[in-house]
Chains A and B, each alone.
Chain A
Amino acid sequence: MAVATKSEKIQRLAELTAVSETSTGASLWREAFRRLKSSKMAIVGAVIIVLFVLIAVVGPFLAPYSPSAQTWRGEVFPNQGKFVGARDGNWFGLDHLGRDLFSRMLVGARQTLLVGIVATLIGLVAGFVIGIVSGAAATLGGDTGRRIDSVIMRFIDMMLALPSLLLAVSIAAVMGQSLTTVMIAVGVVQVPVFARLLRGSMLAQGNADYVLAAQSLGVRKRRIVLSQILPNSLSPVIVQATLSLATAIIEAAALSYLGLGNPDPAIPEWGVMLAQAQRFFSYAPAMAVYPAVGIIITALGFTLLGEAMREALDPKLRG
């Protein structure tokens, strides 16, 4: 038998086992963020979003011309199909009223972002409140709770049953034609999505053993919902919110396209621009292409980030 002192043996063993890094207190959120950072998809998405936000913030200051000034009114004759394309000074060309398209794109970014964010926030906040009430009632409320949940969910089902566009159009009909209308209409459509998502997620977590463990510890129900169930139910909602930003922008564009958006020519918005461009699409496709591409790229950015977050937050992929 080899003669070796105990300390020598321990030391040698420690050397060999020390290769694996010792993890100390990395929460799941932090780990998810670490995975997110190493995802190419997330980085591309984030870069697009950052660019978009940057343009939205500083765009109006960079715009070479006023977005509403019909400076080159005399050069375009929409009725005769005569338009001005990209040229020096007007890099994107002119629209049908002789306004600088490049400036309108820059300024319009802000409105587009605003619509996306506010509409998603409306859907998120309202959906969150409904979802948390419903989810809490269903998981820990006993028989009464299940009944409450049942009623709320039937109501949500009714909301889902209405075609979203129809819902938006009727809201617009009541509130009149404005950007606020578009934001509310798009937001309201998102409410049942968030509510159902959060409730479903809470329901799944409500069956988890750690909830049972908290109950057996004697933790109060409200605290179980807020500190145990809710934090574990957030991941899908966060992902959905990111993806919703993309759909909200597209839906807002669709509503604007249908003429429900902001009619004020001084405040351009990509969706409205797209709507206006449709009449002249055969003569001046560029007028539609710029806002359309802007919307698509932005939506893509949010979608990429959302998908990357879905992967990063998935506990099954941990490691």
Chain B
Amino acid sequence: MSLLELDGVKVHFPIKKGLLFDRTVGHVYAVDGVSLKVEAGETYGLVGESGCGKTTLGRSVLRLVDITEGSVVLDGTDLAKLPGEEMRRFRRRLQMVFQDPLGSLNPRQNIESILSEGMIAHGIGKDQEERREKIKAILDKVGLPSNALARYPHEFSGGQRQRIGIARALVLEPDVIICDEPVSALDVSVQAQVINLLEELQEELGLTYVVIAHDLAVVRHISDTIGVMYLGSLVEEAPSDALYAEPKHPYTKALMSAVPVPDPEVEDKRERILLTGDLPSPANPPTGCRFHTRCPWAQAERCATERPQLRDVGGGHRVACHYAEDIASGKLTLTKGEVVSATREGVDDNPETDTPAKIPAQAEKISKAEKPAKTEKPAEAEKSAQAEKPVKAEKAEKAEKAEKPVKAEKAEKPAKAEGAEKPAEAEKAAEAAEGEKSVEAGKPAQAEKPAEADDAPAEAEASDAPAEAEASDAPEASEEPGKAV
């Protein structure tokens, strides 16, 4: 059994009006039926844009907001039904790290007092002396000096404050820590410190995280499993690498394609799916699929009338879309929205400052980057894209370093394939390739609709080809022929 299980959780906020006594005139469907499981020791990432209900979902797990319907089961206890005082005591096992490190610390309490608060509430430590010892140990763990005890939150920098917030959660030795946008309020250079700290602590203490964030790159970096939320419900859930390799829900595809990658080489080849329209109001959600009003692949049938449920499409990949397979195989074409190049067309790469020939490794890479767009086999698309980064970053040790990710990827693939049935495997690989391409795979910058693959012969051939055979033949197209086989 999983450590934390949510089943059909709904959080509806009443919209009230009235003079003396309020009348309910409607509901905001902040969370509308979410079921997910978090395994002990793993990190579950929840992504979604503002207004998707991810924060409310996180708070509902701690019962900081009332759960309208459904159950939240931690280690066999249904929290949704616990009476107040019992719930209060149970909170020791579920802790939270907040987005705004300054706002979540009482400005009038010093660090010792802030960190003692939880221990006092749960009767941990018999006197302040004992508690202080414990606090010092925790402060050391999160990388703060012990002379921080007497100081106040405003005397620390943003990153340090977030460390205090993490320490506050850790003091109670919880089973699950819910991190609500743990780094989004921090400076870019400080974000990595906190992400690394969270990862180190997990390794050391065997913590279980639920990480809520809007930044897909951050979530992808630290999560084992990722759930994508849109307008109160999960639209897709998959292991981190699988989700990145083959996003199946149209919303996930659009979301992923929209995240800019800090690398011109990658950006030049990427395409963005532009969604039309705005997020509908959660007080008045669309019928049927919540996303159909903006979905680039929305169909006349079913989408507007029937609400898709999360269904398993193999390998622990769950998706709530009626047409996920058809979209992946390229059977459906875009009905609205557009696909644009991630890089500005008129961008002027100054030949003087841009000196690709200067360093051999770089030159090699560029020439390859151009070629694979046409010749590369679909299953390789991801591999080369992944291998590319290390190549660029560590030119000198290119051969050794690049090997690692590719190998990891290889190990990952069969493991996943085992879960699926045999015939499905080939299809899946093809889907993978297709999904891949539409989002980030190697294509030159002209706007080329991924779903219209049939129009482009070279592409169509690639995606229709039985992937199993092609994939193993393909390595020649990749950089490192030797070890990919």
Residues of A whose CB lies within 8 Å of any CB of B are 23-29, 146-147, 150-151, 154, 208-210, 212-220, 223, 227-228, 231-232, 315, 318
* Most chain B beta carbons < 10 A, residue from A29, A212, A213, A232: A213
Query: Given contacts A27-B110, A228-B106, are A217 and B121 in contact (CB under 8 A)?
Result: yes
Docked complex Cα distance between A33 and B115 (Å): 26
Complex Cα spacing A213 to B94, Å = 12
Residues of B with C-beta under 8 A to A318: 154
Name the one of A146, A213, A219, A220 contacting B105, with C-beta atoms under 8 angstroms: A213
Q: Given A150-B20, A154-B20, do A213 and B172 touch, yes or no (CB 8 Å)?
A: no
What A residues does B120 contact at CB under 8 A? 219
Could you count the A-B residue pairs with CB atoms below 8 Å apart for me: how many are there?
94
A70 to chain B, nearest CB (A): 56
Given A216-B62, A220-B88, A25-B95 contact (CB < 8 Å): no
29 cross-chain CB contacts under 8 A: A23-B151, A23-B155, A24-B147, A24-B150, A25-B155, A26-B152, A27-B108, A27-B110, A28-B107, A28-B108, A28-B152, A150-B20, A154-B20, A208-B103, A210-B104, A210-B107, A212-B96, A212-B98, A213-B104, A213-B105, A213-B165, A213-B168, A214-B117, A216-B91, A216-B96, A217-B117, A218-B88, A218-B92, A227-B109
Residue of B nearest to A210 (CB): B106
Number of B residues near A (Cβ < 8 Å) is: 39
Q: Mark B42-62, 1 if CB is under 8 A from A, else 0.
A: 000000000000000001001
Instruction: Please tell me if B221 contacts chain A, counting CB pairs below 8 Å.
Output: no
B122 to chain A, nearest CB (A): 6
Chain A residues in 8 Å Cβ range of B96: 212-213, 216
Knowing A218-B121, A219-B117, A219-B121 are in contact, say whether A231-B108 is a contact too (CB < 8 A).
Answer: yes
User: Of all chain B residues, which has the CB nearest A319?
Assistant: B154
Contact A218 B89 (CB under 8 A): yes
Which residue of chain A has the shortest Cβ distance to B18 in the bound complex?
A150
Check A213–B98 contact: CB distance below 8 A: yes
Give the CA-CA distance A147 to B16 in the complex, in Å: 13
Which residues between 96 and 134 of chain B lie within 8 Å of chain A, taking CB atoms?
A: 96, 98-100, 103-110, 117-118, 120-122
Q: How far is the CA of A147 from the CA of B18 in the complex (A)?
A: 11
Distance between B202 CB and nearest chain A CB, rounded to angstroms: 19
Which residues of B sit under 8 angstroms from A213, Cβ to Cβ? 96, 98, 104-105, 165, 168
B residues whose Cβ falls under 8 Å from a Cβ of A: 20-22, 59, 62, 64, 88-92, 94-96, 98-100, 103-110, 117-118, 120-122, 147, 150-152, 154-155, 165, 168, 172
| Distance in Å: Cβ of B211 to nearest Cβ of chain A | 16
Contact flag A209-B152 (CB < 8 Å), given A27-B110, A29-B108: no
Q: Which residues of B contact A150 (CB under 8 A)?
A: 20-21
B-side contacts of A220, CB under 8 Å: 88, 121
Give the contacting residue for A217; candidates B91, B100, B151; CB below 8 A. Answer: B91
Contact A209:B108 (CB < 8 A) given known A216-B62, A217-B95, A218-B121: no
Inter-chain CA distance A215–B20, complex, in Å, is 28
A216-B88 Cα distance, complex, nearest whole Å: 8
In this complex, what residue of B is CB-closest to A26? B152
In the assembled complex, the CB of A228 is this many whole angstroms from the nearest CB of chain B, namely 5
Could you say which of A146, A209, A231 has the most chain B C-beta atoms within 10 Å of its C-beta? A209
> Considering the chains assembled together, what is the distance between the CA atoms of A212 and B60 in angstroms?
12
Q: Are B110 and A223 touching (Cβ within 8 A)?
A: no
| A26 interface neighbour in B105, B106, B117, B155, Cβ under 8 Å | B155
| Residues in A neighbouring B21, C-beta threshold 8 A | 147, 150
Q: With a 10 A CB-CB cut-off, give which of B22, B94, B108, B168 has the most chain A CB atoms.
A: B108
Known: A147-B21, A218-B89. A232 touches B151 (CB 8 A): no
